[in-house]
Structure 1
């Protein structure tokens, strides 16, 4: 997939604090002892989980990718508690008239995970920053996935030439990229910074398991 690049879109790519460049990705991810949610380690508060960079791990699964009767599911994890995790079967109501594919499941997972993260963090965050200082940085909401397709699509490939490739063709799954882009833009208009981050598959095991469970729980792609 080859898109005209919009330089502003690259700002949606999450980068850890450079102070932690010598650490592994696993070491740069914290799990809060109080809320059991995932966050990036913070330059401003190295000794505590500062909650400034909130993560949602997402994944999509589609056994029988593209084949008739294929089933798809999505998984989202804000943390280790059951109430902070989602396992959702992709239904016709969620993705009407579309084939069940791995790429569509991954994009739907990013979309559902984004809404899940922002809603949960808004609720949790009320009154929870008394120990932090007014000069602290703005918070960021990060969608974490092992899908390079999703991350590059949202941070590098997003077209601005009438949503076409350089060859003038409509990109695959354009409808879902546009839905995800619209959701991000809506949150950005409210002053919420949304970013995306790619991890290796083994670091996304919770969301992967949730997505596979959701796909397995559906006997047909209804």
Structure 2
């Protein structure tokens, strides 16, 4: 029997690019776990992806996961674009590797272990967990501790 886990995510960037943070709230029955980190230089889209990746990678067994995100980039990327990217060997229509490929490959790998249902919510409309994730992600962005090496190297 699979565990049913609720996951709420958000990414934040103070400037885009700039210092960024993500937050993930995992909820199983009455247990809750918060995952968060801050990065010195990154983008908002990368933080939105990291929020989902951190949650999926944290789970140590296959689960049914209900992911709530305010990021259409993440939701559309996974549902609509990833199947095309895979057929095109992770390249866009211009035959260049897709942006944020390092994170898309991680999310692709993490998704193999779980059955995921995607729920999109509009940001900043009072959704309790989304607002909480936003606050935690912003706080992490204000106190970065990690270098986003892949992003920084891609800008050289």
How far apart are the structure 2 equivalents of 1:53 and 1:152? 23
Residue 133 of structure 2 is matched in structure 1 by: 207
Higher strand share: 2
Alignment partners' CA distance in 1, 2:140 and 2:48: 13
How far apart in 1 are the matches of 2:8 and 2:44?
16
What's the TM-score, normalizing by structure 1? Answer: 0.54
CA deviation digits over 1:139-178, x for unaligned, max 9? 6212221000011101110112111122322221122111
- Could you say which residue in structure 2 is the equivalent of 1:74? 22
RMSD: 2.6
Indicate yes or no: 2:6 matched with 1:55. Answer: yes
Question: Does the Cα contact within 8 Å between 1:114 and 1:143 map onto a contact in 2?
Answer: no
Q: Determine which structure has more spread, i.e. the larger CA radius of gyration.
A: 1
1:173 to 2:115 alignment:
no
Q: Would the aligned equivalents of 1:58 and 1:76 in 2 still touch at CA under 8 Å?
A: yes
Which whole-Å deviations, capped at 9, do the CAs of 1:52-95 have from their partners, x for residues lacking one? 642110111110211xxx2111111124x89522232236xxxx
SS in 1 for 2:97: coil
TM-score where L is the length of structure 2:
0.75
Secondary structure, aligned partner of 2:7: strand
Whole-angstrom CA distance in 2 between matches of 1:54 and 1:146: 18
* Structure 2 unmatched ranges of 5 or more: 148-156
Q: 1:194 aligns with which of 116, 126, 133?
A: 116
Question: How far does the alpha carbon of each residue in 1:157-201 deviate from its partner, in whole angstroms, 9 at most, with x for none?
Answer: 01121111223222211221111101112x1xxxx3133321111
Seen in structure 2, the aligned counterparts of structure 1 residues 52 and 179 have a Cα distance that, compared at 3 Å, is closer
Partner of 2:51: 109
Equivalent residues of 2:7, 2:68 under 8 A apart: yes
- Structure whose residues are more often helix by fraction: 2
Is the 1:154–1:196 contact (alpha carbons within 8 Å) kept by the matching residues of 2?
Answer: no
Q: Greater relative contact order: 1 or 2 (C-alpha under 8 angstroms, separation 6 or more)? A: 2
